[in-house]
Amino acid sequence: MKHIALFTAAAAIGLGISAPASADPFQFVITGNYSASFVLDSNPSPDAAFTGSYFTLWDVSGFPDAVAGVADVSFFNAFNGGGLAIEDFYGFNLLLLTDGPQLYSGTEANPFFKTGTFALSEYQGTGSYSLTISAVPEPVSWGLMITGFGLAGAALRRRSYKQGKISVAYAA
């Protein structure tokens, strides 16, 4: 009966510390003639959305070659050649402009990024790039997972201890 109370208390604590539902973070890694790494929500709220064309996210961190370390990232739909553009707004410099697959589903006003590895090509150029989009576990998820493993280990240890005690009692 005690272990049920312990499990219930642990579950209540786990639910209490869990974060409110939000979009999962995705890691974007570009390799090739240009390299960059940045994190965006899987379902971002665009700063500018042009229905039937593309959407833009302003001041995305992770661009050390940009003047302020941030850049505006635009994602194009398939009708407009797919791919993305990275622009250093503060430095008045276009860092990368590519064609490729459409990297999101949904609409430009409510996009959902796709995960996987995508081949991109430089717009009207010869460069080729690889873009990998993957999920990033949040710290709360890691904490809950580690807590769960700890509780499972404690339960197994307690169970094996009790079984050892019982077999010793029967042997006597």
Per-residue model confidence (pLDDT) at position 37? 95
Per-residue model confidence (pLDDT) at position 103? 97
Per-residue model confidence (pLDDT) at position 19? 47
Taking the chain (172 residues) in runs of 10, the rounded mean pLDDT of each run is 55 52 83 94 95 96 93 96 96 95 96 96 89 83 74 71 59 56
CB atoms closer than 10 angstroms to residue 67: 13
Nearest Cα residue to 140 out of 8, 7, 4, 22: 22
Residues 163, 167, 157: CA angle, nearest 5 degrees: 20
Question: How far is the C-alpha of 29 from the C-alpha of 5, rounded, in Å?
Answer: 45
Per-residue model confidence (pLDDT) at position 9? 57
Per-residue model confidence (pLDDT) at position 151? 77
Per-residue model confidence (pLDDT) at position 171? 57
Helices 2-17 and 139-171: crossing angle, nearest 10°?
A: 170
Domain positions in the chain are 25-135, 139-172
130 phi and psi, to 5 degrees? -125, 130
Per-residue model confidence (pLDDT) at position 84? 97
